[in-house]
Structure 1
């Protein structure tokens, strides 16, 4: 989380997509990112947001030479998964492998909606999460 905040403070653009339940799960850092101005999109659904990937454009000089990176695998982005689980993650810069992930992210970005604090949906999901925790 600290690494993400550091790049945000340096002006790197970050966008996040989660399912609504994960935004309020115990230990979730999603709301912290949202409070830092990171655009976060979510959806309350019976379907689980089970994608586990992130995309990075490593900036270079000139900017037209940016190197795209994809990390994907079984890793849940939680402290437990990173410190205590057996996980598999693949990192690649192969553009042909990255393209479908970028397309999926952009498709979901349109489909999912911004988090609106204190909206009825926000309040409802937060209440349900606190009852579970």
Structure 2
């Protein structure tokens, strides 16, 4: 993640460097080595939320606790480069699959779901 230089504080509290463009580069140090599930399960769990509700933050916490990567129906190259290697992976090899779609494009794909709810006033960014 790249952030403009504004303060000496680290958002994750670890490994800060300065890029050639003058931005802080924050390198995430993981508590556990991340891995895929083996063998892949046919049971795919959706992590469903409204955008801005903390879905990525919850994915980060789940990965930290379990050591198993989380997937997404989207391909966010920024997230993929900075700690979420299973972006665009939607099979049972990941712990949960991020989605903001309701109903999902492939309704038979997900066997269960975790619904993340946040106060809409806080989730809607103006």
* Coarse TM-score class (shorter-chain normalised): under 0.3
Bigger proportion of residues as helix: 1
**TM-score, normalising length from structure 1?**
0.24
| Higher RCO (C-alpha 8 Å, min separation 6) | 2
